[in-house]
Amino acid sequence: MQHHTTLLRRGLMATVAGLVLTAAAPALAAPPLLQAEHQTYDLPAQPLGEALGAAARISGRQVVVASPLVRGKTAPALSGRYTADQAYAALLSGSGLKLVRVGATLVLKPADETAPGEVRAGDEPESLAEVVVTGTRIRGAGPVGANVIAISRQDIEASGYATTQQIVQSIPQNYGGGPNEGTLYGTGRNGASANLGAGSGVNLRGLGASSTLVLLNGSRPPMGGRTGVFADLSLVPASAISRIEVLADGASALYGSDAVAGVVNVLFRDAYQGLETQMRLGGAQGGAAERQFGALAGRAWPGGRLVAAYEVMRRDALAAAERPYATSDLRPFGGPDYRSVYAAPGTIVAGGQTFAIPAGQNGVGLRAGQLLRGFVNREDGRLDTDILPRQTRQALYASGEQDLGAVTLFGQLLVADRRFAFRSPTVSQTATTVPVANPFYVDPIGTGQPVRVQYSFVGDLGPQIYSGHVRAYNATIGARGEIGAWSLSARAGYGLQEEASLTKNFLNTYRLGLALADPNPATAYNLFGDPGSTPQATIDKVRGFAFNHGVFEAWSADLRADGPLLTLPAGGVRLALGLEHRDERYRLDSLNDIGGAVASASTLALPGPRKIDAAYAELCAPLVGPEAEVPLVRRLTLSLAGRIERYSDFGTTRNPKVGLDWSPVGDLTLKAAYGTAFRAPSFNDQRQGIGSTLYQPAALVDPASPTGSTVVLALIGNRPGIGPERARTLTTTAEWTPQAVAGLKVTASYFRVRYRDRISSINADIFNALINRARYADLLTEAPSPEVVAAYYASPYFSNPGAIPAANVKVIVDARVQNLAVVDEDGVDLDIAYGRAVGAGRLSLGLSAAYIFSVEQAVSRNADPAETRGTVGNPLRLRARMRAGWSQGGWDASAFVNFADGYRNQTVTPYEKVDAWTTLDLNIGYRFAADRVGLSGLRAALSIANLLDRDPPYVNLRTSTSGIGFDSDNASPIGRSIALQVTKSW
């Protein structure tokens, strides 16, 4: 089997290389201008731009239109079977426009314009139908059974957002928890602690950023985070995006791993022609000032095109001191005081008592009588920290293609460089032991023994500064051609994401111990006074650092083919086939100067490289068409898809999917899709060996024991044989475009995800393992045999600091990371869109919402599930975004109301209610007329996010390091932000 797999991989790579490097192939014929195959069109009368987009998706051809050409024009209804040539002619009849072939692209022109391949300066070309359509591999077909949420270039401009992550995070189906720049050093939930490079992922349905697949022009980017666990959208330049498509449904049958909650596909402005520049300035009260510049240039010629985009962005940090709720002392809000007991001046702990060291002195000559018995000094853990990092990012995107007659060569490249820095809360603190030899030693109880001091070193060393550098490269080259009506393509890709982070002002505990034992007052460390009481040279000696360097690398190659298989009365049956190979690897190196005389280097022992071979097929069959005149079945289309993947490290996965589109009447379409999906375990999930495995006995509280406690043997680390997480997904959709209300479209979808074998552990709750015996029954081995216990005691991974005999072990607690948890989530998505001309202007209204009925989570298959919807760390019951827009002449204005439902804070006792949060965004723009000398092609826009400056709702939140008064998973601390953006087409 291994021999055959190797041959497949080598053959695939050789075939790709041959097709990419071959300039012509005799067996391939140049494609016609438009496909001669008859296809079924059933389009209502609608704005011309929308009609051309719908026709492009059916015909499978890329169409480029300049928005001013179609503004105010309406296409007639079109129903029947036509060639693409006939369909476009009917839609453009009487419009004064025509389609012109430019390379492999169709460009809309005025009918009287003869110069090919040109678009007037100031026009905004928009690609309405790329070769890649999210949710299907079949050219000329839309995703059957599923609903794709599309965010167009016009939507992006109307939103006023500056970055790709802002655009995606505004989608109601996205949950803000997980790895993104706003959750750094928060609770660490949902994988946020893996955010090595301060990046930003997407987390559809709240199932985790690793369970949402991100694509760039249909291809996987390199992964970010510790061991490569999420795609970093912050590296993608927003000014280069044509549109973003979101398929909120499982799609592993087409794309493989990670497509459990859905797929986010970022499509670039590859068809742009001309030159566009953009400048943006903005900021918020107290910080987060932003500066952004971008340029986009494109050119087309007969048989080819080339486009390049460059964007540079800088945003300042936002200090916690600028937001009153970003504090550990929540008493002003009616909450607790989470300020740390590690402060400067500190507190002496001796004989079970506390003695606060008085402020305003340097520890020289301090006597026991001056200490404040029974008091504790405290310090805000958020003091001198940031809640958003400083970010500086540069990105370059380029793509091009050239038609060589028989073969079209194409390629794309994304290069990004991002630097970040912010002041973080101290990661961990413990009481420091001061020996009697220390010249500043104070004995509060007269025992003459060493004392422990709760002391904060922030005032001496400064706040811990977390900074880093992220570099990413993503390149694809390929070739495509046609044999008759079949399209063939081959491509090869390479991706790399390199993340380096440095934490400064760490405390080196080894050198601190030496400085505390130093009897010389001129060089000893002094913990008994205000910050700065120790000589600066001594402070510098105990200053340490932690450096991490992670590299994710991926090579890929694929072959694709699609075309007609046979013809049914309702239309042609189309088939897509593909073979793929990927090679992934990750390396993490560290250099730490924290606990030794000198810095120590290490490399995380990870498995790899991982090699993946895959094959997939997708079939789309129109079963019934309008011409059949079947009652209540105007159209019926079936889709079948399946994918097999073989992983070198854990085995084979098989994932099918079936989709159905049923249109009982002309203005109503009902859809349904059912399939399976999976997420492959990360490199870190499969790590084994010393440093990742521990067997240790301990006494845990046990209500069932007469003594109140029971000795257990805890198994910690990664369980061998971890496999993929698996899911079953169901989506049903209703699309209604009532003929009686022109311009109205209503889409409602129901979804359910049954997610099992989720990789997790009970290690965080291991001390309650026997208290919650029923809940963790699957992970407890009661009365284990002496032979089993003896085997663990003999393991090289065994540790027994308490010298507990093997005979005392009564229960084995399996707290290892393993395929364990189950999540069952269901809900509905709703989108209402309405647009119409009103006088000389155009009005648009809309509502997008995601409502979750239930999120039931169980620690294992046999455990009772718990409802977690609407709780801290989990998706909200309701997220919604309402929109209203108006355009007239050169003016356009858009307003958005963002709603995040209230929820329950279950992390405190008794539970507390968190209020709902509603914000208002406003964007006003003006585009100068083409006849304005020097101003032609210029658009100026003013964007105001959170216009009413609504603070996040108060949340009594205890974090891993201190506490804070808002939940960064569900709210932004930026407040009202104002930005001015100027865009010029030259």
User: Residue 62 is part of a domain; what is its CATH number?
Assistant: 3.55.50.30
- Helix and strand numbers (H, E) in the chain are 11, 51
At residue 539 the predicted structure's pLDDT band, cuts being 50, 70 and 90, is very high
Task: Sort strands 651-665 and 668-679 into parallel, antiparallel or unpaired.
Answer: antiparallel
Within-domain flag for 779: yes
Percent of the residues in the chain that have a pLDDT greater than 90, as a whole number: 76
Residue written as tokens 């010389």? 520
Q: Determine the pLDDT at residue 568.
A: 94
Per residue in 203-218, pLDDT (tens digit) is 999 999 999 999 999 9
pLDDT beyond 70 at 23? no
What are the two backbone dihedrals, phi and then psi, of residue 913, each rounded to the nearest 5 degrees? Answer: -90, 135
Lowest mean pLDDT: which of 23-32, 148-157, 824-833? 23-32
Distance CA 154, CA 156 (A): 5
Residue identified by tokens 């109503």 is 668
At residue 189 the predicted structure's pLDDT band, cuts being 50, 70 and 90, is confident
The amino acid at residue 173 is Q
- For residue 243, what are the domain limits? 148-285
Same domain, 160 and 256: yes
Instruction: Specify the pLDDT at position 90.
Output: 83
Lowest mean pLDDT of 36-45, 347-356, 514-523, name the range: 36-45
Is the dihedral angle over the CA atoms 755, 756, 759, 760 positive or is it negative? positive
Residue 688 has pLDDT above 80, yes or no: yes
Domain-embedded: residue 623: no
The answer to whether residues 94 and 198 belong to one domain is no
pLDDT of 211:
96
Distances (CA, A) of 750 to 20, 145, 204, 550, 879: 43, 12, 15, 40, 15
Phi, psi of 326 (to 5 degrees): -90, 60
List, in sequence order, every beta strand (DSSP E) within 217-286: 241-247, 262-268, 274-284
Coil, strand or helix: which one is 115?
Answer: coil
- The alpha carbon of residue 700 and the mean position of all alpha carbons in its chain are separated, in whole angstroms, by 38
Residue 75 and residue 181 in one domain? no
Kindly state the average pLDDT of the residues 378-397.
95
CB 525, CB 516: distance < 8 Å: yes
Residue 611 has pLDDT above 80, yes or no: yes
* Distance from C-alpha of 139 to C-alpha of 937, rounded to nearest angstrom: 34
Model confidence at 24, in pLDDT bands (50, 70, 90)? very low
* The pLDDT of residue 820 is above 70: yes
Position 68 in a domain: yes
Q: What pLDDT score was predicted for residue 73?
A: 77
Mark whether 190 and 252 lie in a shared domain. Answer: yes
Task: Assess if residue 221 is contained within a domain.
Answer: yes
**How much of the chain, in percent, has pLDDT values that exceed 70?**
92
Task: Using pLDDT thresholds of 50, 70 and 90, give the confidence band for residue 194.
Answer: confident
CA–CA separation, 341 vs 424, rounded Å? 18
- Cα gap 961→549, rounded to integer Å: 24
Domain end call among 285, 309, 326: 285
Report the DSSP beta bridge partners of residue 685.
none
The whole-number pLDDT of residue 422 equals: 95
What pLDDT digit, counting tens, does each position of 145-173 carry? 999 999 999 999 999 999 999 999 999 99
Q: If you average pLDDT over every residue of the chain, what do you get? A: 90
The confidence score (pLDDT) of residue 83 equals 80
Q: Say yes or no: 82 and 169 in one domain.
A: no
Chain-centre distance for alpha carbon 504: 27
Average pLDDT of span 932-953 = 93
Angle between helices 48-59 and 84-92 (to 10 degrees): 180
User: Which residues have CB under 8 Å from 873's CB, separation 6+?
Assistant: 177, 187, 189, 190, 907, 969
Cβ neighbours around 706 below 10 Å, total: 6
Same structural domain for residues 279 and 155? yes
Q: Which helix (H) or strand (E) is 90 found in, with range?
A: helix 84-92
Q: Output the six-digit token pair for 917.
A: 């949060």
pLDDT band at 4 (very low <50, low <70, confident <90, very high): very low
Which pair of structure tokens corresponds to residue 523? 């060089």
pLDDT band at 6 (very low <50, low <70, confident <90, very high): very low
Extract the runs of DSSP E, i.e. beta strands, from 50-91. 62-66, 74-75, 78-82
The residues, ordered by sequence, that sit 6+ positions from 18 with a Cβ below 8 Å of its Cβ are none
Residue 78 in any domain: the answer is yes
What mean pLDDT comes out for the span 885-913? 95
Mean pLDDT within 495-524: 97
Residue 27 has pLDDT above 70, yes or no: no
**How many Å apart are CA 831 and CA 431, to the nearest integer?**
55
> Is the entire prediction scored with pTM above 0.95?
no
Domain boundary among 232, 254, 285: 285
| Token pair 């658009």: residue | 939
Dist. CA 904–CA 873, nearest whole Å: 10
* Sequence-separated (6 or more) residues with CB below 8 Å from residue 832: 744, 745, 746, 747, 845, 846, 847
3-state secondary structure 163-186: CHHHHHHCCCCECCCCCCHHHCCC
Give yes or no: residues 70 and 168 share one domain: no
Q: Cβ–Cβ contacts within 10 Å for residue 43, how many?
A: 19
Mean pLDDT is lowest, of 294-303, 440-449, 598-607, 958-967, for 958-967
Q: What is the pLDDT of residue 85?
A: 82
Count of domains forming the chain:
3
In angstroms, what CA-CA distances link 616 with 137, 195, 252? 10, 32, 10
Residues 93 and 171 in one domain: no
* pLDDT tens digits, 626-668: 988 999 999 999 999 999 999 999 999 999 999 999 999 989 9
pLDDT category of residue 376 using cuts at 50, 70 and 90:
very high
Residue 729 one-letter amino acid: T
Is-contact 323 950, C-beta < 8 A?
no
Q: Among residues 334, 340, 527, which one has the least CA distance to residue 439?
A: 527
Measured distance CA(294)–CA(88) in Å, rounded:
35
pLDDT tens by residue, 60-69: 677 777 666 7
Are both 154 and 83 inside the same structural domain? no
Mean pLDDT of 666-691: 92
Over residues 422-467, the pLDDT tens digits come to 999 887 678 999 999 999 999 999 999 999 999 999 999 999 999 9
In terms of Cα–Cα distance, which of 611, 609, 679 is closest to 647?
611
207: phi > 0 → left, psi -120 to 50 → alpha, else beta; which? alpha
Q: Could you read off the pLDDT of 280-293 as tens digits, one per residue?
A: 999 999 999 999 99
pLDDT recorded at residue 26: 34
Question: How big, in percent rounded to 5, are the helix, strand and coil portions of the chain?
Answer: 15, 50, 40
Q: What is the mean pLDDT of residues 942-951?
A: 98
Indicate if the pLDDT at residue 382 is higher than 70.
Answer: yes
795-815 pLDDT, tens digit each: 999 999 999 999 999 999 999
One domain, residues 809 and 689: yes
User: Is 382 within the bounds of a domain?
Assistant: no
C-alpha dihedral (36, 37, 40, 44), degrees to nearest 10: -20
76, 202: one domain = no
The b/e string for 81-101 (b: 16+ C-beta within 10 A; e otherwise) is bbebebbbebbbeebebbbbb
Q: What's the rounded Cα separation, in Å, for the pair 162 and 172?
A: 18
Residue that has been written with the tokens 């009772």 in this structure: 864
Confidence of residue 17 (pLDDT cuts 50, 70, 90): very low
The pLDDT value given to residue 936: 86
Has residue 162 been placed in a domain?
yes
Cβ atoms of 146 and 673 within 8 Å: the answer is yes
* Listed residue (588, 586, 644, 584) closest to 610, CA to CA: 584
CA distance 549 to 759: 25
Per mean pLDDT, which of 19-23, 126-130, 788-792, 925-929 is the most reliable? Answer: 788-792
How far is residue 849's CA from residue 448's CA, in Å, rounded to a whole number? 67
Q: Which residues contact 16 (CB under 8 A, 6 or more apart)?
A: 478, 490, 491, 492, 557, 558, 559
Which CATH number does the domain housing residue 193 bear?
A: 2.170.130.10
φ/ψ of residue 788, rounded to 5? -65, -45
Burial string for 418-439 (b: 16+ CB within 10 Å, else e) reads bbbbbbbbbeebebbebeeebb
pLDDT value for 21: 35
Burial class (CB in 10 A: 0-12, 13-18, 19+), 401: buried
Domain boundary among 285, 306, 337: 285
Tell me the pLDDT band of 932, cut-offs 50, 70 and 90: confident
pLDDT at position 417 is 98
Classify strands 891-900 and 917-927 as parallel, antiparallel or unpaired: antiparallel
Say whether both 72 and 193 belong to one domain: no
Opening angle at CA 126, ends 123 and 130, nearest 5: 155
- Strands (E) in 594-704, as ranges, are 600-603, 610-624, 635-647, 651-665, 668-679, 693-701
pLDDT level of residue 716 (50, 70, 90 thresholds): very high
Confidence of residue 499 (pLDDT cuts 50, 70, 90): very high
- Per the model's pLDDT, the better-predicted residue between 56 and 601 turns out to be 601
Burial class (CB in 10 A: 0-12, 13-18, 19+), 613: buried
Per-residue pLDDT for 961 more than 80?
A: no
Do 73 and 48 touch, CB atoms closer than 8 A? yes
pLDDT of residue 549 exceeding 90, the answer is: yes
The pLDDT confidence band at residue 190, using thresholds 50, 70 and 90, is confident
Other Cβ atoms closer than 10 A to 518: 17
Sorting pLDDT into bands at 50, 70 and 90, what band is 192?
confident
Distance (Å) of CA 929 to CA 71, 280, 934: 14, 21, 10
CA distance 725 to 680: 7
Specify whether the CB–CB gap between 317 and 399 falls below 8 A. no
What number is the average pLDDT over the span 850-868? 94
Token pair 């962005």 in the structure block, residue: 313
183 within domain boundaries: yes
Give the pLDDT confidence of 74-87 residue by residue, as tens digits.
788 787 677 888 88
C-alpha closest to that of 627 among 635, 615, 619: 635
654 CB-near residues (< 8 Å, 6+ apart):
642, 643, 644
| pLDDT score recorded for residue 97 | 86
Q: Are 963 and 957 in contact (CB under 8 A)?
A: yes
pLDDT surpasses 70 at 34: no
